[in-house]
Amino acid sequence: MDTIFALASAPGKAGVAVIRISGPLSWEAVRLLVGVIPQPRQSTLRKLRDPDGEILDEALVLVFDQGASFTGERVAELHLHGSIAIQRAVLRVLEGIAGLRMAEAGEFTRRALENDCLDLTQVEALSDLIEAETESQRIQALRVFSGALGKRIESWRRMLIEAAALLEATIDFADEEVPVDVTGDVLARITAVISAVGREIDGMNAAERIRTGFEVAILGAPNVGKSSLLNALAGRDAAITSDIAGTTRDVIEVRMDIQGLPVTLLDTAGLRETQDPIEKIGISRALQRASLSDLRVVLVDEHGIPDVPLGDSDLILTTKADLTGDASGISAYTGQGLDHLLSEIGHRLSAIIQGAGLATRERHRVAFFDGRESLERSIQLLNRGPGFYDLAAEEIRAAIRALEILVGRIDVENLLDEIFSTFCIGK
């Protein structure tokens, strides 16, 4: 492979900038810059020089041997002072070294996949880990990045390989006088995998919610205090507030971290009968988004509950407690009850993610469903007798292929291109 390099830390001025080099010439590039290659995995302070001997920077230099690095190749890292000028100068020198080129987006991670340092689920988890904004997202991404999902899939794959091998052995010895009946052993393995895959499918909705975030809609009549509540919870003026009814026309979104969970609060148009066509559109959008949200906070005042169907999970609160003196109500003006509201939202959303699985993406869902359907067909064929064992074995192999696609054992270039296009250069 080519030797590639790129800025591995965030672009721009910083205290420290890290440039990563990976490939067969990475250590040679370090020798050209600092003169002496340090011992693997022992950081050493060295002066970096350009081809004319001019000092570029004084940096920590770290090298990793093949098989002991993130990519599985020989790797070098230069921990520079974070000046943009220094970064550019060092990158310019690397560009001038024969055999080196700038890395493409996600190319370091792709090499880790190709060198069996990561499986495809770990690659996706690494992307999620980089994008994580809340504690729950970090924990979930780290679980998958550690290889937990890949290990589960590998255990299912081994069980199915054993099941297929038992069937094929029976087919090979079908002409023997006393053929061994392996149906029970095969069925036990298949049903165990179907059950495990089913549990993972059941936990996908909760896992996806952790990854993509929850939506909490704030509903109520005009001027009940929805926008004021949104601003108070967000700690900024995200929505326009006014005494004029119908000020909010479109859905206003604010992203928040509530008890470690990613939550988007939705401020919606006031619910009422109106002849204003624009306001009607706003109310329609409010009801539509609210119907798709994970939780609805319904605000009420002295005029009562708005004319909207309520569900058992809806959180109904009285507002403007600073004016009414209601000790159990909330007030966006004084902050009364807001901490309790955030705690209740976090509690209810946490209940949703109980039993969350490790799979989080639509391609995971498709592969699980395809694999389970193949296994269910294999059971039907097994129950029809030995004459259908060859077809049952083929259905088991189809399920194995579905699992292999999940972890990237089967090369699917279009899928890989799509996944790695979301990575930044340097990762």
Q: What is the pLDDT averaged over residues 289-300?
A: 87
**pLDDT tier at 286 (50, 70, 90 boundaries)?**
confident
Continuous segment of H or E residues that includes residue 331: none
Same domain membership, residue 368 and residue 275:
no
Same domain membership, residue 304 and residue 223:
yes
- Is 312 marked as binding a ligand? no
Q: Which two tokens stand for residue 341?
A: 């509201």
Mean pLDDT across the chain: 86
* pLDDT tens per residue, range 83-96: 999 999 999 999 99
Q: Which two tokens stand for residue 90?
A: 């060092």
DSSP category for residue 421:
T
Same domain membership, residue 375 and residue 343:
no
The residue from 95, 119, 143 where one domain ends is 119
* pLDDT tens per residue, range 124-165: 999 999 999 999 999 999 999 999 999 999 999 999 998 988
Same domain membership, residue 299 and residue 274:
yes
- Is 268 marked as binding a ligand? yes
Helices 362-382 and 389-407 pack at an angle, to 10 degrees, of 170
**How many Å apart are CA 74 and CA 63, to the nearest integer?**
8
How many structural domains does the chain have?
Answer: 3
- How much is the pLDDT for 174? 53
- Is 245 marked as binding a ligand? yes
Q: Report the Cα–Cα distance between both ends of the chain, in Å, rounded.
A: 17
**How many Å apart are CA 347 and CA 341, to the nearest integer?**
10
- Is 242 marked as binding a ligand? yes
Same domain membership, residue 28 and residue 64:
yes
Residue 414 in any domain: the answer is no
- Is 246 marked as binding a ligand? yes
Cβ proximity of 225 and 319 under 8 Å: yes
Same domain membership, residue 13 and residue 86:
yes
Sequential DSSP letters for 187-204: HHHHHHHHHHHHHHHHTH
Among candidates 313, 352, 294, which has minimal Cα distance to 136? 352
Residue 413 in any domain: the answer is no
Q: What is the pLDDT averaged over residues 161-188?
A: 75
- Is 150 marked as binding a ligand? no
**How many Å apart are CA 53 and CA 57, to the nearest integer?**
12
Q: What is the pLDDT averaged over residues 106-110?
A: 92
Q: Which two tokens stand for residue 85?
A: 């000028």
Q: Which residue range(s) make up the domain with 308? A: 213-353
- Is 331 marked as binding a ligand? no
* pLDDT tens per residue, range 21-46: 999 999 999 999 999 899 998 889 99
Whether residue 235 is predicted with pLDDT greater than 90 in this model: the reply is no
Handedness of CA 251, 306, 209, 345 (dihedral sign): positive
**pLDDT tier at 242 (50, 70, 90 boundaries)?**
very low
Residue 140 in any domain: the answer is yes
Count of CB atoms situated within 10 Å of the CB of 361:
18
More confident: 366 or 286: 366
Q: Which two tokens stand for residue 267?
A: 């401020």
**How many Å apart are CA 272 and CA 144, to the nearest integer?**
46
* 99, amino acid identity: G
Residue 229 in any domain: the answer is yes
* pLDDT tens per residue, range 335-386: 999 999 999 999 999 998 888 889 989 999 999 999 999 999 999 999 998 8
Which residue reads 């706003």 in tokens?
Answer: 282
Q: What is the pLDDT averaged over residues 379-406?
A: 91
Task: From residue 300, give the alpha-carbon distance in Å to each of 45, 58, 295, 333, 343.
Answer: 65, 64, 16, 16, 20
- How much is the pLDDT for 263? 92
Whether residue 176 is predicted with pLDDT greater than 70 in this model: the reply is no
Residue 426 in any domain: the answer is no
- Is 247 marked as binding a ligand? yes
Whether residue 419 is predicted with pLDDT greater than 80 in this model: the reply is no
- Is 223 marked as binding a ligand? yes
**How many Å apart are CA 224 and CA 236, to the nearest integer?**
19
- Is 44 marked as binding a ligand? no
* CATH number, residue 205: 1.20.120.430
Among candidates 210, 213, 198, which has minimal Cα distance to 141? 210
As a whole number of angstroms, the longest Cα–Cα distance in the chain is 91
E-strand ranges in 68-202 read 75-81, 100-102
Same domain membership, residue 36 and residue 98:
yes
Among candidates 411, 415, 409, 413, which has minimal Cα distance to 366? 415
**pLDDT tier at 291 (50, 70, 90 boundaries)?**
confident
Same domain membership, residue 158 and residue 71:
no
Residue 278's contacts (CB-CB under 8 Å, 6 or more residues apart) are 249
More confident: 173 or 3: 3
Same domain membership, residue 53 and residue 93:
yes
Same domain membership, residue 342 and residue 232:
yes
Whether residue 198 is predicted with pLDDT greater than 90 in this model: the reply is yes
Query: SS3 for 49?
Result: strand
Q: How far is CA 425 from the centre of its chain?
A: 19
Same domain membership, residue 87 and residue 17:
yes
- Is 238 marked as binding a ligand? no
Residue 367 in any domain: the answer is yes
**pLDDT tier at 59 (50, 70, 90 boundaries)?**
very high
Instruction: Give exposure, 258-294, as e/b (b: 16+ Cβ within 10 Å).
Output: beebbbbbbbbbbbbebeeeebeebbebbbebbeebb
Same domain membership, residue 260 and residue 201:
no
* CATH number, residue 79: 3.30.1360.120
- Is 134 marked as binding a ligand? no
Residue 412 in any domain: the answer is no
E-strand ranges in 68-163 read 75-81, 100-102
Whether residue 178 is predicted with pLDDT greater than 70 in this model: the reply is no
DSSP category for residue 102:
E
- Is 181 marked as binding a ligand? no
* CATH number, residue 251: 3.40.50.300
* pLDDT tens per residue, range 252-266: 888 989 999 999 998
Q: Which two tokens stand for residue 407?
A: 């972890």
**pLDDT tier at 333 (50, 70, 90 boundaries)?**
confident
- Is 270 marked as binding a ligand? yes
- How much is the pLDDT for 219? 85
**How many Å apart are CA 334 and CA 101, to the nearest integer?**
59
* pLDDT tens per residue, range 273-282: 666 677 677 7
Residue 124 in any domain: the answer is no
Cβ proximity of 90 and 102 under 8 Å: no
